[in-house]
Amino acid sequence: YTILSKVHSDRNVYPSAGVLFVHVLEREYFKGEFPPYPKPGEISNDPITFNTNLMGYPDRPGWLRYIQRTPYSDGVLYGSPTVENVGKPTIIEITAYNRRTFETARHNLIINIMSAEDFPLPYQAEFFIRNMNVEEMLASEVLGDFLGAVKNVWQPERLNAINITSALDRGGRVPLPINDMKEGVYVMVGADVPFSSCLREVENPQNQLRCSQEMEPVITCDKKFRTQFHIDWCKISLVDNTKQVSTFQEVIRGEGILPDGGEYKPPSDTLKSRDYYSDFLITLSVPSAIALVLFLILAYIMCCRREGVEKRNMQTPDIQLVHHSAIQKSTKELRDMSKNREIAWPLSTLPVFHPVTGEIVPALHTDSYDNTSMPLMQTQQ
């Protein structure tokens, strides 16, 4: 049901279309590609990362995915080949990077996709396992245990693992790093017999109601998975391709189906081109003219309608102008006199002695004391 292979130089693999393909990039193999620079007697554990891409392209094919958690773990290529690529060799360039010595090593993986017999399997079920990460599920022994549990519940003659997808690729969130929480993984399997009664229990109205209330549904065969796999039965998907195919064949052309309109006919090249110069001038001239008129009106109001000082004086009575001028002259003379006078400071501003300590207490005024605020007449003797 799955193809496992180790990394080799220019290795040829032959996966089947629609069947899960897993290829492990082992760090131990690539360690021999890099010189052992550590001292004699020391074990080299260099961090190694991998880069995989389709030859001549920057990324991998759409059906092929790659995962490596840390530079100290193996990388895994996995995916489900498509029928469109059957018979076409796919060359994957694998580049290993030694993060300590910055050296690289390159190998080619030639994937020859073969057509699977009796594929696709008509009955497909997708399970969501909450306590697994994708690299853990890709291990052959773990995937074998899961398929064994499914086979025990489903009882099919043929059972294949079709695809494995991380919950993060389906819009899931990264789990909190507490209690060894997992991100979850979707596993799709296919069989040649209808779904068992246990799997059909998810479609019961009672279980559907419990799922809508975010409660665990009651599944009789859940205990066969619970020992190792925690399955979210509310997210299970059951697909019966036999019903879909029969429904498609029964479609009859009639009302509700658009008639064939023929081939698309683009417009001819003889269409006359339109001149947008006049539209451009109108678009600029009209707002500019309105702005100019408003500017002239505002300039006339601000400049031509201004009364000025002379007109104000002409409309003011002479006696009021005389009083105003006299007040200004008197104010100016008083200010000049206050600046030029020299008189003694008031007694309240002179230094005095503290009655207890005998220390000299500074004057109340400061250096920036404004002498213009002093009284015109000295009231102290």
CA distance 283 to 9: 69
Architecture of domain 7-113: Sandwich (2.60)
Count CB-CB contacts under 10 A for residue 1: 15
- The domain ranges of the chain are 7-113, 123-240
More confident residue, 37 or 334: 334
Percent of residues, the chain, with pLDDT higher than 70 = 79
| Confidence at residue 260, expressed as pLDDT on a 0 to 100 scale | 72
More confidently predicted of 180 and 49? 49
pLDDT on residue 66 = 93
Contacts of 36 (CB under 8 A, 6+ apart): 44
- Number of other CB atoms surrounding residue 163 within 10 Å: 20
Helix intervals (H) in 155-230: 197-200, 205-212, 223-226
Q: Say if residues 185 and 172 touch (Cβ distance below 8 Å).
A: no
**How many residues in total does the chain contain?**
381
What pLDDT score does 285 carry? Answer: 94
Please indicate, yes or no, whether the overall pTM of this predicted structure exceeds 0.75: no
Quote the radius of gyration of the chain (alpha carbons, Å). Answer: 46
Q: Is the pLDDT of residue 262 over 60?
A: yes
pLDDT of residue 338: 82
User: Residue 31: pLDDT band by 50, 70, 90 thresholds?
Assistant: confident
Q: What is the mean pLDDT of the segment spanning 61-66?
A: 91
Q: Name the average pLDDT for the chain.
A: 81
CB 126 within 8 A of CB 116: no
Quick one: average pLDDT of 148-169?
89
Residue 73: CB atoms within 10 Å: 14
pLDDT for residue 34 is more than 90: no
Residue, of 291 and 180, whose pLDDT is higher: 291
Of 180, 21, 195, which is closest to residue 113 (Cα–Cα)? 21
Strands 11-13 and 104-112, sheet pairing = parallel
Task: Measure Cα distances from 351 to 269, 369, 376 in Å.
Answer: 105, 15, 22
Most confident of 93-102, 238-247, 366-375: 93-102
> Is there a contact between 175 and 181 (Cβ–Cβ < 8 Å)?
yes
Order the strands of the 237-240 sheet from edge to edge: 159-166, 185-191, 123-129, 237-240
